[in-house]
Amino acid sequence: MAEHITAIIGGTGLTQIDGPEQLSAEPVITELGAPSSTPQRGVWQQQPVVFLSRHGHPHAIPPHKINYRANLLALQQLGVNRIIAVNAVGGIHPDMGSGAIVIPQQLVDYTWGRESTFFDGDFMPLQHIDFTHPYDETLRQQLLTAAKACNITVHDHGVYGATQGPRLETIAEIQKLQHDGCDLVGMTGMPEAALARELNIPYASICLVVNPAAGKSDELITMDYIRQVLDHGMHQVIRVIEGLLQSDNN
């Protein structure tokens, strides 16, 4: 069996990571520019990993200005052959309240104006990928199995609605997303997932619900509240990833 080199792409609340050992910076420049942050290579549960902070460190790059293409190319250049994306999201589905962890299986893309493909006719010739199932099902199931082994409750389904940001959504927008079938709302799920598919790198997401979406609570959404949820929830997300890597040793 080929060795896994697992990339963890950290989002809001995960701009640096404590689990891996022997972390060292791996400066990479791609044909499409520099990634959001310098990737860090290390060993975690005896498995090789690469960590990349999607928004930079410190958290500074807004969702619509992230060079997603450079991020994915950098990971490919470092030999990554599977990607776990960590996303902080708002909860739309009533069962996906603050603190819930979701391994989504589908997504709807509402973003615009982003460099969203390698196959643009300039960088690479035009191709059309099959994106019926946007997340790699094998990797999804491995994450679900790891969560169960760690006794961490996760939702094994969910539709991620990717919005433009960086502002949060209106009540009417969330109602539209819910009508469209979305369970979660975030700002960075696309084009990241599609770019990974174009590079044939298995990709799955772990979503941490950090707040009810607009109109789903009587309380105002504040960053202080979001940070409190992030502090607790990211520990559980890290445990799931650690469990997945540990299972690779069996």
- 3-state secondary structure labels for all residues of 115-159: CCCCCCCCCCCCCCCCCCCCCCHHHHHHHHHHHHHCCCCCECCCE
Q: What is the CATH number of domain 6-108+143-247?
A: 3.40.50.1580
Residue 20 pLDDT level (bands cut at 50, 70, 90): confident
pLDDT of residue 121: 93
Instruction: Give the span between the Cα atoms of 15 and 230, in whole angstroms.
Output: 12
Question: 13-17, 27-31, 54-58: lowest mean pLDDT where?
Answer: 13-17
Average pLDDT over residues 208-229: 84
pLDDT of residue 220: 73
The whole-chain average pLDDT of the chain stands at 93
Q: Is the per-residue pLDDT at 1 higher than 50? A: no
Residue 215 pLDDT level (bands cut at 50, 70, 90): very high
Q: Is the per-residue pLDDT at 82 higher than 50? A: yes
pLDDT of residue 2: 56
Average pLDDT over residues 107-132: 96
Q: CB of 30 within 8 A of CB of 75?
A: no
Which is higher by pLDDT, 219 or 86?
86
Q: CB of 33 within 8 A of CB of 11?
A: no
Q: Is the per-residue pLDDT at 238 higher than 90? A: yes
215, 65, 56, 15 alpha-carbon torsion, rounded to 10°: 20
Q: Is the per-residue pLDDT at 105 higher than 60? A: yes
pLDDT of residue 222: 74
* 211 labelled binding-site residue: yes
- Model pLDDT for residues 141-183, shown as the tens digit of each residue: 999 999 999 999 999 999 999 999 999 999 999 999 999 999 9
pLDDT of residue 224: 80
* 87 labelled binding-site residue: no
Q: Is the per-residue pLDDT at 12 higher than 60? A: yes
Domain segments of the chain as ranges: 6-108+143-247
* 212 labelled binding-site residue: yes
pLDDT of residue 133: 98
* 54 labelled binding-site residue: yes
Q: Is the per-residue pLDDT at 19 higher than 80? A: no
Q: Is the per-residue pLDDT at 198 higher than 50? A: yes
- Model pLDDT for residues 41-66, shown as the tens digit of each residue: 999 999 999 999 999 877 789 999 99
Instruction: Give the span between the Cα atoms of 69 and 46, in whole angstroms.
Output: 29
Average pLDDT over residues 204-226: 87
* 12 labelled binding-site residue: yes
